[in-house]
Amino acid sequence: MATDNTNAGGFGEVSRVRGIAFEYLSLGASVIGLVALGVLLVYVTIDAFDLANASPEWLLTYFLTLVVPFLAFCLYSASDPEVTRRALSALGGGLVAVAALFTAIETFVAPIPRLSWQLAYLFVVAMPVTAYLTYIGSRGRAGGVGFGLVGRLVGGAAIGLAVGTLFLVFDSLVWFLAYTLGVVPAAALYAYGRRRSVNWAMTAAVPVGLVGLVAAVFLRGVIVTYPSDLIIYVWTLAIPVAIAGGLVVADRGSRLAGAATGGVPLAVAVAGGFLAGGFGVPGPTALIVLVTVGVPTAVYLHRVIDEGDGLVGLALPVLLVGGALVGALVVEAWGVPAPDPWLDASFVTEAPSRTAEDAGLYPAIVGSVIIIALVAVLSFVLGVGTSVFLEEYTPESGILGSLTRLIQVNIANLAAIPSVVYGLLGLGLFANLLGFGLGTAVTASLTLSLLILPITIISAQEAIRSVPDDLRRGSDAMGATRWQTTKNVVLPEAFPGILTGTILALGRAIGETAPLIMIGAATTVFSAPASLFSRFSAMPMQIYAWANFPQAEFRYGVVAAGVITLLIILIGMNGTAILLRNRAERGS
Amino acid sequence: MTSSHDADSKGITRRQSLATLAGAGALAVAGCTQSTEDGGDGSDGGSDALSGSINIAGSSTVFPLMSAIAEDFAAEHDQVSVDISSTGSGGGFSNYFCVGDTDFNNASREIQPAEEELCAENDVEYVELVAATDALTVVVNPEADWIDHLTVEELAQIWESDPVQTWDEVRDEFPNEEIERFGAADTSGTYDYFIESVLEERGHTSDYQATEQDNSIAQGVTGSEYAIGYFGFAYYFQNPDQLKALGIDDGNGPVEPSLETASSGEYTPLSRPLFTYPSIESLGNDHVAEFARYFVTQTTNEDLIAGDVGYVPATEETQEEQMETLEDAIEQAQG
């Protein structure tokens, strides 16, 4: 009886109210944050592309020629009647709902600035539906092929541009010598040793390469005549990439196809490189972009055609480019008033200016890309090195163990130090004491690397710690040394986690302004940095300066265009890292 | 990548790579080479032999003017890279210029004794060039229809180190509301000039929102009907509808700030010269000297200085004097 009562009372009093309240509270918390960010991004996009001045006809034209065919493609790829029904009802119902709600708010509450119901429909309904259908479509065969192809085209172009940017500051002549004297002989020796199982050749590869690199640095000052830049890039970048692509295809069976997948893009790229000058495009950049786009695309095309499945997907790039062209033609032919976007080609290729129409971000983009590339390398090497040492090599008990724990606590604290303090450290240590110069790219990269180092260390440590001990013990039991265990077991397992941490940290580094101000980075420069020791400006610095210009066009249009550019580069960077991580996860 | 592998296993790749190499070789022989022998200092830059970098820091008031001039200069001389930082006049002198890190320092007031000493300690010699004239503008909220001018004495009462707290203490007909002040930070030359011309030994209040950025001051003043702020003329010139500029009465009746009243000298005591200070050592380099000359010639360019930026251009006379001063300094630097 007594037990019965307790039981009944105990269960009877469990109320669902608290649970439900908690659920909706957390929903509310996430909605507030996301909606605020969403509204901000929508307005920044509207300002950057001058969408407030886009006529409804203009929006409708591109919606019909670009968005609708794309959605149809995704639906075709998904070929699921249920998805089609849902998508169409969302698009249709959304249209009515948004138009009604928008008009109601405008009539009864207050006019909504710089937003029409058509734009609201695009952002609130069309964009989420497109994102959803892109996801669903990419899981279909045709969609997978189509997005794979578009991804290679866009990604290849992005990588090509990034590599081209890096060569603006790195001496291509040193690279030419280092490649010819160091990388080629070392690779040849290694390949020879591996093929013929000659151990000494494989062992000799590293020292030979190092000697070559050192020789290159010395010879740079001695040799005075070099091949032109274009030939250097053909020899050091285009040919190896083409050979690598060719080998990948050749491994699948066909040597002829291998030669073609390597050779055709190479020939196109070389021709493009020599002809590009005539169109006002720098030859080396054209060459690099054509190679990084052409070779992966050719390899991918070979695979898709070989498998013979989902070939329709290959039409996706044609569909997109065709849609954009048709849209442009219609707009031109019917004289539809088009918006005049702040973020256009000249914005990313030209220098800053006193007039908002001519203002560009090019020098700052180059500055940011170079800094972030260096920061990525430095913080990855330092961060992974530190975390491997702390996790794998330091003792867990005794005086040294306590010392390690003390260091751990301090690293965690370092992550919370304001970035201005790192700026002061950079100013004192790198700029003044070590003499890397005030506001140079080297000083900035070192400072930002230190800034994000605690985050990279901590996340890499977490990743290494999450590798199950069983794996280590198993490796030990096989007689592996600690170095072999770390190299073959721990690091490959932890790699995806390490990359995630580094991605987050790099995202913080690219947006930092305060430490750059402290180390004396310039607010405005008019030409891209020519070396690592020249003064530079970074995107957040220039955007901050524009935000304080007296002219309203700067504070709204140009700043928004800068923000969107920064976001696109950030997304590109993160996308690359996420692809690498997914590949590593699949590999393990 | 693995050339031996290719050569052994694939006839076509080998033939092809040989052909490519031969082609590259032929092109190289045919003149696709570059030489580093005499190109190191940018003498291959075409008609223009100037090259090098110019570092500029200093006043945020002079920043738009300097960047406009540097933009045109950089467009004409693509081997010269110009970088400009907006640090405030004082910040620029003490952190960069007087320790020898920058070639020019912009200032919205004359160099001060403490900075002169610092420069002397580090053997940094400089010359003073007048860039343009600015009309320091006192602004209030456009809704504030109860006020249209202040006397210099009233202005001083509002901003002195022990300031009045409400508007009716300034003038009886003003409302009994608290004064909200938005002004320049103490690293700014605008702050120094405001003290020098209005407050003198009465000191500047610390009870105000201090910032380097005109935009923040404008935002603050727009936000409240009882706010007051001051900054350079350019911001008001570009956004005349956003704020209301007050006339200033220096004993001869209220005068509104404008390009005309500033250049005619009526707008006293708040019209002020803007300066840039090139370091004499830097003027020893041809590209810096050429930039300084270009700067002085542009100070009379009305389209640029009045139209694009919003300051008062220099007169021909001033320009000639400035050019003489500059040429003397260049001669001293280059021997």
Which of the four pLDDT bands, split at 50, 70 and 90, describes residue B166?
very high
Q: What is the pLDDT of residue B7?
A: 41
- Report the pLDDT value the prediction gives residue B6, as an integer from 0 to 100: 42
Task: Report chain A residues whose CB lies below 8 A from the CB of B305.
Answer: none
The residue of chain A nearest to residue B62, with distances taken between CA atoms, is A549
What is the distance between the alpha carbons of residues A484 and A470, in angstroms, rounded to a whole number? Answer: 15
Predicted pLDDT of residue A11:
59
Closest Cβ–Cβ partner in A195, A524, A534 for B84: A524
Residue A13 has pLDDT above 60, yes or no: yes
In a domain, A383, yes or no: yes
pLDDT at B47 over 70: no
Chain B: closest CA distance from residue A333 (Å): 36
**Do both A230 and A306 map to the same domain?**
yes
Structure tokens at A530: 């020519």
Say if residue A428 is in the same domain as residue A461.
Answer: yes
Please report whether residue A570 resides in a domain.
yes
Shortest distance, CA B222 to any CA of chain A (angstroms): 14
Q: How far is B67 from chain A (nearest CA, A)?
A: 7
Tell me: do A220 and A331 sit in the same domain: yes
Q: What is the pLDDT of residue A320?
A: 93
pLDDT band for position B25 (cuts 50, 70, 90) = low
Domains of chain B with CATH codes: 52-132+274-334 (3.40.190.10), 137-269 (3.40.190.10)
Is there a single domain that holds both residue A538 and residue A408?
yes
The reply to whether B82 touches chain A by the CB within 8 Å rule is: yes
- Report, as an integer, the average pLDDT of A309-334: 89
A179 vs A212: CA distance, rounded Å? 8
Q: Is B100 left (phi over 0), alpha (psi -120 to 50) or beta?
A: left
The answer to whether position A105 is within a domain reads no
Confidence of residue A451 (pLDDT cuts 50, 70, 90): very high
Domain count, chain A: 3
Residue B44 has pLDDT above 60, yes or no: no
Is residue A395 assigned to a domain?
yes
Q: Are residues A318 and A392 part of one domain? A: no
**Residue A211 domain-assigned (yes or no):** yes
Is there a single domain that holds both residue A378 and residue A508?
yes
* Pair (A242, A324) in one structural domain: yes
pTM: 0.84
Query: pLDDT tens-digit profile of A207-257?
Result: 888 998 899 888 888 888 888 888 888 888 888 888 888 888 888 777 888
What residues of B are in contact with residue A537 (Cβ under 8 Å)?
83
- Cross-chain residue pair B86–A523, CB shorter than 8 Å: yes
Residues A369, A513: one domain? Answer: yes
Q: Within a domain: residue A138?
A: no
Instruction: Establish if B43 touches chain A: CB-CB under 8 angstroms.
Output: no
What is the structure's pLDDT at B276? 94
Q: How confident is the model at residue A368 (pLDDT cuts 50, 70, 90)?
A: very high
Q: Which of A33, A48, A63 corresponds to the end of one domain?
A: A48
Based on the fold, state whether residues A532 and A460 are members of the same structural domain. yes
Identify all chain A residues contacting B34, using CB atoms and an 8 Å cutoff: 225-229
Q: A387 and A327, same structural domain?
A: no
B292 in Cβ contact with B105 (< 8 Å): no
Residue numbers of the domain that contains A378: 362-587
Over residues B270-279, the pLDDT tens digits come to: 888 899 999 9
pLDDT tens figures, B200-217? 888 899 999 988 788 889
Residues A21 and A153 reside in one and the same domain: no
Interface membership of B29 toward A (CB under 8 Å): no
Nearest to A551 among B2, B70, B238 (CB): B238
Choose one of A308, A339, A370: the last residue of a domain: A339
Q: Which has the higher per-residue pLDDT, B36 or B6?
A: B36
Contact call for residues A209 and A183 (beta carbons, < 8 A): yes
| Higher per-residue confidence, A291 vs A12 | A291
Backbone phi and psi for residue B301, each to the nearest 5 degrees, phi listed first: -75, 105
Of B75, B96, B239, the CB nearest to A550: B239
Question: Are the Cβ atoms of A548 and B213 closer than 8 angstroms?
Answer: yes
For residue A444, the domain's CATH number is 1.10.3720.10
Structure tokens at A551: 């002219």
Confidence of residue B45 (pLDDT cuts 50, 70, 90): very low
What does the DSSP 8-state code read for residue A314?
G
Put simply, whether B2 touches A (Cβ < 8 Å) is yes
List of residues 6+ apart from B58 with CB closer than 8 A: B85, B86, B87, B88, B89, B91, B92, B93, B97, B102, B104, B105, B106, B107, B276, B277
Interface of B with A in 238-297 (CB under 8 A): 238-239
C-alpha distances (whole Å) from A115 to each of A47, A60, B2, B189 are 11, 16, 58, 41
Is A70 inside any structural domain?
no
Do the Cβ atoms of B53 and A439 come within 8 Å?
A: no
**B12 in contact with chain A, both atoms CB, cutoff 8 A:** yes
- A95 falls within a domain: no
Q: Which helix (H) or strand (E) holds A43?
A: helix A17-48
Residues 6+ apart with CB under 8 A from B91: B57, B58, B187
- Pick B86's closest partner by Cβ from A239, A526, A545: A545
Arithmetic mean of pLDDT, A85-104? 92
- Cα torsion for A93, A94, A97, A103, to the nearest 10°? -140
pLDDT tens for A512-553 read 888 998 898 898 999 888 888 888 899 999 998 888 888 888
How do residues B212-245 score in pLDDT, each as one tens digit?
A: 788 889 889 999 999 999 988 888 888 888 899 9
Q: Let me know whether A318 and A413 are in one domain.
A: no
Number of CB atoms found within 10 A of residue A93's CB: 11
